[in-house]
């Protein structure tokens, strides 16, 4: 069977992506599962495995299977954190997705923890006035607010406000009428 699967990763990925475009989510899931099997059996690069896991997690979300998406997303995050093949932004993007998955499952404590880690890493990776920092701080404030931690929520709302205020001097101004993408 391994011989039949050899070099099958790309065709399975392509078939899965086509199925996603055609909104055939179950077909996409099967193709991505086969691509993952090929990637693991043929010991492909961490990048191939992570790409496959990300596509599979997205597919599970579309199929309204958040627990499966969470498990796959966690696996992708571990691979990205332990491999030099990935940028800090790759890790941040996966953490953001994981945080939103926790939120969608009403796992607010896990969402807050992951979002706090996301904020810490964002502050290390970007300038203090970067728009992503304001976005993540706002989301963390919303989470703390829902958890009933008004004091912590206020601190992060203030941090988001301060970052947005500083964005004007860096050419990153967000128009006053622009919606802030938050969980709510």
pLDDT in tens, the chain (184 residues): 445 555 789 999 999 999 999 999 999 999 999 999 999 888 878 999 999 999 999 999 999 999 999 999 999 999 999 999 999 999 999 999 999 999 999 999 999 999 999 999 999 988 888 888 999 999 999 999 999 999 999 999 999 998 888 766 555 444 443 334 444 4
Q: Any alpha helices (H) in 22-172, and if so which ranges?
A: 25-41, 46-62, 66-81, 88-104, 108-125, 131-146, 150-167
- Tokens 């709510």 sit on residue: 184
Delimit the domains of the chain by residue range: 1-86, 88-184
Angle between helices 9-21 and 25-41 (to 10 degrees): 160
88-184 sits in which CATH class?
Answer: mainly alpha
Residue 116 CA to residue 141 CA, distance in Å, equals: 10
CATH superfamily of domain region 1-86: Tetratricopeptide repeat domain (1.25.40.10)
């Amino acid at each position: 069977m391994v011989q039949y699967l050899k070099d099958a990763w790309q065709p399975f990925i392509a078939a899965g992506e086509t199925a996603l475009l055609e909104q055939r989510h179950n077909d996409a899931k099967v193709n991505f599962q086969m691509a993952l099997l090929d990637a693991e059996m043929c010991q492909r690069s961490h990048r191939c495995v992570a790409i496959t896991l990300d596509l599979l997690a997205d597919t599970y979300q579309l199929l309204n299977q958040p627990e499966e998406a969470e498990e796959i997303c966690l696996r992708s995050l571990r691979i990205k954190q332990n491999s030099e093949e990935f940028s800090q932004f790759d890790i941040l993007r996966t953490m953001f997705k994981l945080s939103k998955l926790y939120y969608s499952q009403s796992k607010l404590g896990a969402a807050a923890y992951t979002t706090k880690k996301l904020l810490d890493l964002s502050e290390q990776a970007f300038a203090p006035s970067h728009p992503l920092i304001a976005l993540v701080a706002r989301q963390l404030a919303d989470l703390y607010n829902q958890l009933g931690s008004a004091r912590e929520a206020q601190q992060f709302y203030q941090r988001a406000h301060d970052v947005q205020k500083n964005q004007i001097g860096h050419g990153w101004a967000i128009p006053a009428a622009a919606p802030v993408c938050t969980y709510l």
